[in-house]
Structure 1
């Protein structure tokens, strides 16, 4: 047997609430369902926004009404409905103008007045969100309708408003997350170009990144502080199949042990003091993307076992919860520690170490690829020029030679910061065309070696793997720079100290790139 028309209407509204159909369609089905079971000529669902009522769906009213805005203070009937929690009926002789007089669709002349009117305010969680109104041309049309029926339809209308608002909020949140992911991806792609260098060491590193990026293997990036391990991780993610997903970065060294588990795996409300609501951890946030655990060697031992389980089984458990969550995360870890030594000392789990070290990437120290210093200087000076608002900034050949001779214990990061400081000093002395000179570099002073001292330390077993011409040029360049610096940039005194004719020294300096 076919259910009564009213039950069909309620069923139709309930189905609309349980589906993901567009909000406008849900609103329209709601008002149409009400009109199908109640003796009214028009129904309007209005949403309260910033003190105004805006129609979101109407039935039986002129279509252009959707574009109208109703200020309750200008419409006594709407004001009355908003002020009451129960349904409000207006007698035929109420003497109050109806906001929809002249708006009925069946009245093509737009001059008919409404004779029967009732409405109900809509609340969601004790918050007033809108109004549902019913109108009819027939006087007394609603006399036989009980308040409970109207209240039930009003509750469904309020639920529809809430449902659509929640869906739209989720859509906005999802879009924000996608925008954030796109921004992170674009940032990673921009930063990918910052892996500066043409040395064999850097070329090998780039090739290894390209090789492992195409897989989902766990990667352990090792290297001294300041070598650019984070940059390698971002470049790896940008070249991976997950490049359009988020890269979540967490610094394990900055994690207090008391909250480290919550940061990684999340927690539920009430799990510990201060856990006032459920919170997703970094593994959940990185689901489908990449999780970068920087300074993994600093992770507490107690947490390493749980991390191992997450990596092996792809399952995590929020603090305070019994439920297991499946996550699909590609892991990249980085450390400046020797994890093999940490394992031997009992400070790092051997099983976790081997699980992380599926594909190790070693980032070379700057002293191992000094041939890239000139490129790095050009890149960092351009950044310094932009930060300081300069048109250009140069580097004196003697300053470059001094940089190339330094051992760089702080690696690329130390070079970057040193050049920024030197740029500031040079700009202070010559704001139009600043030039960084050797004396403006914050490098430790070294006494200039004699020719005999240099020759003494050049033994066959320490010769570089290069051609004789290149080795001689490098030796001459370093020696000239050191002697020139010892004589405070005086070329004549330098020529006398090297027992060379001044003109010959100038020609040699130009060939070696020490003079323009």
Structure 2
């Protein structure tokens, strides 16, 4: 059955109705799935050689959290390059990004696949994908009918992107995903708490106010700081990071303000401090609650007057630095206890931001699990990493005392364990791959190591060593040097062993 003028008109009317962009997109793909008879549809946004799902229908919920790099997904790259409707043959050898991600069809390969690239002024802005289990599912729809759908969808997506730029009042170049050292490229989440946080970030980013970011360990405070800097007028200038908790008091002043040659024993050359490095940019002071009281007074002076003085230097110099600070402590209580200066607290917390813990973010756990599954798939060169329903429910029930950092490590560790003995590279994560307390969601996970059934001693030994390294590395927050110390190994030997076992 072909698409009627009425059905196309209804799509156009739906896309212009006065509802939010998210609801509009959800209605679009739901309607398309009904009209085309597919098993799954998705609307994807394109930027920086990556497709990001905006709305899905008929796909596992964690797909919304996945980010599909073109280099890792040849089908999506073909859609991006095509410039027109793409019909993949049922026997196409290109892997489908949705294999195993259509509920009730997890054991079957997607057979019919349509790709509709979406353009605005000849620039690719997104794509519609429609998939089905029947190889002949879309044969009776003409390319012309499908082009009309892509034009309607492209107009709606382009309007949404323009509105987003106007609301944020930032150039399109600054709204790209935020990168971090762990390659977690953005703040993934659609929960009420995260949407409110993102809104507050947009509000404060364009100002020059100091910001105090609070939240438990592992919630992503550094990511918030990067988002604020990226959305500010200082984005083209440096964002300098300093962990106050890892700062010995003897060198803390030199780290912040620098020193001149001969200022103290060991000062054999001039040193530039973090404030100088961040001049005209942003300085992010992580774990600010650990800063010694003596330095708190000097930091306050810089915030008040903009002057810094290198250790051993009689002259001062002026800097223009925006300070973002983060802590997992209750600084108000520290002020009352006399461990933190009240005047510095008020100077830093001009605009406080609180990052909610993962256990309060509901479905965001599923989205983040999908995000990390895709990252693990790419890092390990696997065809697919998918969550079973039981594993997804386990992750939702767990309390996540280590928050997003713990979830990331848990997904990576589970993928390594599930990969053992799977040469085809299609991984299904089951509850037994996660070292979490299933029956006691409020408890902290314990690194219980269980040796799987194996055919020989070498395999058993490798599996045991692999699990020990992964668990220890997670407890050391990914720090290989600390992991080596805990395991009483030379760090170079640990790296070699980890590579041989597939951990690195």
- How far, CA to CA, are the matches of 1:406 and 1:364 in structure 2? 16
**2:208 aligned to which of 207, 212, 216:** 216
- How far, CA to CA, are the matches of 1:255 and 1:357 in structure 2? 22
Where does residue 354 of structure 1 map in the other structure? 346
Shift of 1:277: 1.3
Where does residue 416 of structure 2 map in the other structure? 424
Where does residue 366 of structure 2 map in the other structure? 374
Q: Helix, strand or coil: the match of 1:378?
A: helix
Q: Helix, strand or coil: the match of 1:434?
A: strand
**1:436 aligned to which of 429, 439, 457:** 429
Q: Helix, strand or coil: the match of 2:225?
A: helix
TM-score w.r.t. length of structure 1: 0.50
Where does residue 292 of structure 2 map in the other structure? 300
Residue pairs, 1:124-273, within 5 angstroms: 187=179, 193-273=185-265
Shift of 1:445: 4.2
Where does residue 75 of structure 1 map in the other structure? none
Q: Helix, strand or coil: the match of 1:390?
A: coil
- How far, CA to CA, are the matches of 1:212 and 1:232 in structure 2? 11
Q: Helix, strand or coil: the match of 2:384?
A: coil
Contiguous gaps of at least 5 residues in structure 1:
1-181, 449-516
* Larger-Rg structure: 1
Measured at CA, do residues 188 and 328 of structure 1 come closer, stay the same or move farther in structure 2, by a change above 3 Å?
A: farther
TM-score w.r.t. length of structure 2: 0.51
Shift of 1:340: 0.3
Q: 1:481-503 CA distances to partner (integer Å, 9 max, x unpaired)?
A: xxxxxxxxxxxxxxxxxxxxxxx
Shift of 1:305: 0.1
- How far, CA to CA, are the matches of 1:330 and 1:190 in structure 2? 24
Measured at CA, do residues 314 and 185 of structure 1 come closer, stay the same or move farther in structure 2, by a change above 3 Å?
A: farther
Q: Helix, strand or coil: the match of 1:361?
A: strand
Measured at CA, do residues 251 and 342 of structure 1 come closer, stay the same or move farther in structure 2, by a change above 3 Å?
A: same
Shift of 1:399: 0.5
Contact 1:220–1:334 (CA<8 Å) still a contact in 2? yes
Shift of 1:431: 3.4
Q: State yes or no: 1:391 paired with 2:383.
A: yes
Contact 2:178–2:186 (CA<8 Å) still a contact in 1? no
- How far, CA to CA, are the matches of 1:309 and 1:225 in structure 2? 29
Where does residue 322 of structure 1 map in the other structure? 314
Q: Helix, strand or coil: the match of 1:293?
A: strand
Where does residue 365 of structure 1 map in the other structure? 357
- How far, CA to CA, are the matches of 2:407 and 2:270 in structure 1? 44
- How far, CA to CA, are the matches of 1:192 and 1:420 in structure 2? 13
- How far, CA to CA, are the matches of 1:190 and 1:383 in structure 2? 10
- How far, CA to CA, are the matches of 1:192 and 1:243 in structure 2? 19
- How far, CA to CA, are the matches of 1:237 and 1:447 in structure 2? 39
Shift of 1:279: 1.2
- How far, CA to CA, are the matches of 1:358 and 1:330 in structure 2? 12
- How far, CA to CA, are the matches of 2:177 and 2:268 in structure 1? 32
Contiguous gaps of at least 5 residues in structure 2:
1-173, 442-504
Higher relative contact order (CA 8 A, sep 6+): 2
- How far, CA to CA, are the matches of 1:429 and 1:375 in structure 2? 27
- How far, CA to CA, are the matches of 2:229 and 2:435 in structure 1? 35
* Farther off after superposition, 385-394 or 307-316: 385-394
Measured at CA, do residues 187 and 440 of structure 1 come closer, stay the same or move farther in structure 2, by a change above 3 Å?
A: closer
Q: 1:105-156 CA distances to partner (integer Å, 9 max, x unpaired)?
A: xxxxxxxxxxxxxxxxxxxxxxxxxxxxxxxxxxxxxxxxxxxxxxxxxxxx
Measured at CA, do residues 226 and 303 of structure 1 come closer, stay the same or move farther in structure 2, by a change above 3 Å?
A: same
- How far, CA to CA, are the matches of 1:202 and 1:447 in structure 2? 26
Where does residue 446 of structure 1 map in the other structure? 439
Contact 2:177–2:186 (CA<8 Å) still a contact in 1? no
Where does residue 284 of structure 1 map in the other structure? 276
- How far, CA to CA, are the matches of 2:350 and 2:299 in structure 1? 15
Where does residue 400 of structure 1 map in the other structure? 392
- How far, CA to CA, are the matches of 2:359 and 2:331 in structure 1? 22
- How far, CA to CA, are the matches of 1:427 and 1:342 in structure 2? 46
Shift of 1:429: 3.9
- How far, CA to CA, are the matches of 2:266 and 2:440 in structure 1? 59
Shift of 1:447: 7.2
- How far, CA to CA, are the matches of 1:237 and 1:339 in structure 2? 23
Q: 1:304-337 CA distances to partner (integer Å, 9 max, x unpaired)?
A: 0000000010001000111011000011000000
Contact 1:296–1:335 (CA<8 Å) still a contact in 2? yes
Measured at CA, do residues 368 and 396 of structure 1 come closer, stay the same or move farther in structure 2, by a change above 3 Å?
A: same
Instruction: Provide the aligned length of Structure 1 versus Structure 2.
Output: 266
Where does residue 466 of structure 2 map in the other structure? none
- How far, CA to CA, are the matches of 2:324 and 2:222 in structure 1? 10
Q: Helix, strand or coil: the match of 2:323?
A: strand
